[in-house]
Amino acid sequence: MTTSDRSPSKTLKSTTPLAALTALGIVYGDLGTSPLYTLQTVVLAMGGRFTPESALGVLSLIVWTLIITISVKYCVFVMRADNHGEGGILALMSLIGANTLKGRGALLTMMGLLGAALLYGDGAITPAISVLSALEGVNIVTSAMKPFIMPLAVVILFGLFVLQKFGTAIIGRAFGPIMLVWFVTIAVLGVGGIVRRPDVLAAVFPGYAISFLAHSGAVGPLVVGGVFLCITGGEALYADMGHIGRFPIRLSWYAVVLPALLLSYAGQTALLIQKGTIQGNPFFQLAPAWSIYPLVVLATLATIIASQAIITGAFSMTRQAMQLSWLPAMRIRQTSNQAYGQIYVPTVNWLLMAATIGITIGFGSSDRLAGAYGTAVSTTMLLTTVLLYTAMRRVWRWPPAVCAGIGAVFLIVDLGFFSANLLKILDGGWLPLTLGALVFFIMTTWRTGVDVVRKRVTESSTEPEAFFAVLDEGKIPRVPGTAIFLTRTTQRMPPLMADHIKHMGALQRNVIALSVVFEEQPHVDEESRCSVEHLTHGIWRMTARFGFFETPDLQTALSHIGALDPSIDLKSAVFFGTRDLVVHRPGSRVLSHGRLAVFAFLYRNALKFVDRFHLPPENSVEIARQIEI
């Protein structure tokens, strides 16, 4: 099975207020709820004590981090590097032609795979810390609810993952208005703090950030690690581009999200300057006492939505990894007839849910999770910069001086955050790194194994000309009936057909070698559904095309083919597919015995393409082949 090339122009979404509102619900939950825990983490790093200069320095770091990393790096440059409308580090890796573990592109490929794998690891933490930090706001008013915060967070997270099956379009329409209310609320709270200390606006001058870094001493790296939390949703913003489109995402950022975040952080910083010494979460302390309970409810809703960005981003990355042969085939359900990127992947959803709930129970509070959060994302952002530089040189062909200047700015920022987050490894940063390493291991093992399997199958293939010559000489008996061989290859003589003849000693009178191609459009016209090539006596090569929102029904599609012999009875045709068994080849060192066992398990349990079609069970046959690798 193959996936057709897609034109970028077809996947770019229009910029409308509704699309921008949907982007708030799908994309900006993670970035939008970062004020809940970013300055809280900084407060802990600094022991709760601030001078006006140190507070302004922290705010200046946050302001310029948001501007340089999100407003410029991601919104202007990274999102320009779409791959046929799809975003994410895997799409970027593919765009620059890095899709092999051998040769010159191997290092870039490894970077892309590692970055994607680490996002899965950090993605398991995002929902946990977001929901916990929101619910803990009630501790400002009373400690009676403290024992119930973690169990309640588990219930909320379970419900969120169950909700995914309804699709991102429905979720976006429901969540978008809530996030709009959230951004207005945090902006208003921020303005309230600014009014009391308007001198906080001076933090827009980057000199405060530079001065803080120069004089902060040993606490500086810890603060920088906390500041990084304000941009932890940036990579998901890129990964979700296929769901929404780049223009609505940019519009939402510049018009709503960025202003609201800057006002919120400025208001909290004003509180730090006003008090000098502070304990707990400055976000909730900024709000009037009477508003705490409603604010906790709103914050909880917003953090539920925050988890959506990383979940939908994981769905997008999974499909890209499958298309690029880095992950085994999984069941994917299209949830929109308008946008190719809106999908639901049950396997990823439930595995991510198990990891998130396990982390929530294991850590129990947002304070403890802060040490684990950000390590993987900072690594991914650093790797993204390296791949972006390669795209500027190879794809856009910009002058070397321009590429070096832009890349250097982003690299300095990313290296600073990467170094600061390394200090978190012993405090929990090992967790997302471990999860990411596991996914990276699975990706590289799967791809290596698949490449070897394809090589072995190709080696055993019969040359088409030789086969047709033998067939024409009548040396292969022909028996009544019609056989349809489903094949992923574009070879005129699919290996499956040769295996069938080898074992059965005969071939049906009418034979069709059938490949399936999925187009990017929602539906394919019936007249464009199938193309047919007559190879020789009674043998045809056929390609069936389906839209991404269609459920492939091969029998119905084949019944409309006019180029076949009208005497062929397709209703009684037998469909043949493969179910390969992978075993160790004596003397082979391609995969160690441990990796071979992992690959064999994945290969055995991967979704077979015959399962994706409406094939009659009584007329479907799977041929098991033992392949030595």
CB neighbours of residue 214 within 10 Å: 10
- Over residues 276-293, mean pLDDT: 88
Single pTM value for the model: 0.83
Q: At what angle do helices 258-275 and 52-65 cross, to 10 degrees?
A: 170
Q: Length of the chain in residues, anyone?
A: 629
> What is the amino acid identity at position 123?
G
Looking at residue 7, its pLDDT comes to 37
**Contacts of residue 327, Cβ cutoff 8 Å, sequence gap at least 6:** 318, 321, 442, 443, 446
Residue of higher predicted confidence among 567 and 231 = 231
List for the chain the helix, strand, coil content (%; round to 5). 65, 10, 25
Q: Please, how many CA atoms are within 13 Å of residue 415, restricted to the half-sphere of its CB?
A: 7
Summary mean pLDDT of the chain: 84
Residue of higher predicted confidence among 555 and 133 = 133
Q: Read off φ and ψ for residue 588, nearest 5 degrees.
A: -80, 140
Dump pLDDT digits (tens) for 351-380. 999 999 999 999 988 888 888 888 888 999
Per residue in 159-170, is it b (16+ CB within 10 Å) or e — as a string?
A: ebbebbeebbbe
- Across 86-90, 229-233, 321-325, 407-411, the highest mean pLDDT is recorded for 407-411
Q: 């407060």: which residue's tokens? A: 43
- Over residues 427-433, mean pLDDT: 89
d(CA 540, CA 513): 6
Residue of higher predicted confidence among 498 and 128 = 128
Q: Read off φ and ψ for residue 607, nearest 5 degrees.
A: -65, 125
Q: Strand 530-536 and strand 539-546: pairing?
A: antiparallel
Whether residue 5 is predicted with pLDDT greater than 50 in this model: the reply is no
Distances (CA, A) of 594 to 11, 55, 456, 598: 41, 52, 20, 7
Per residue in 24-33, is it b (16+ CB within 10 Å) or e — as a string?
A: bbbbbbbbbb
- Over residues 35-44, mean pLDDT: 91
Residues β-bridged to residue 514: 486, 542
Task: Report the first-to-last Cα separation within the chain, whole angstroms.
Answer: 22
For 506, the 3-state DSSP assignment is coil
Q: Are 342 and 167 in contact (CB under 8 A)?
A: yes
SS3 per-residue string spanning 8-72: HHHHCCCCCHHHHHHHHHHCCHHHHCHHHCHHHHHHHHCCCECCHHHHHHHHHHHHHHHHHHHHH
Whether residue 161 is predicted with pLDDT greater than 80 in this model: the reply is yes
- Over residues 460-475, mean pLDDT: 72
DSSP 74: I
Dump pLDDT digits (tens) for 500-521. 887 788 888 888 888 887 775 5
Looking at residue 591, its pLDDT comes to 79
Residues β-bridged to residue 478: 507
Domains and CATH numbers, the chain: 26-169+197-243+272-428 (1.20.1740), 458-628 (no CATH)
Whether residue 148 is predicted with pLDDT greater than 70 in this model: the reply is yes
- Over residues 575-604, mean pLDDT: 81
Looking at residue 226, its pLDDT comes to 92
Q: Are 397 and 106 in contact (CB under 8 A)?
A: no
d(CA 393, CA 143): 56
Looking at residue 87, its pLDDT comes to 80
Residue of higher predicted confidence among 622 and 196 = 196
For every residue of 262-273, DSSP letters joined together read HHHHHHHHHHHH
Lowest mean pLDDT of 298-307, 327-336, 599-608, name the range: 327-336
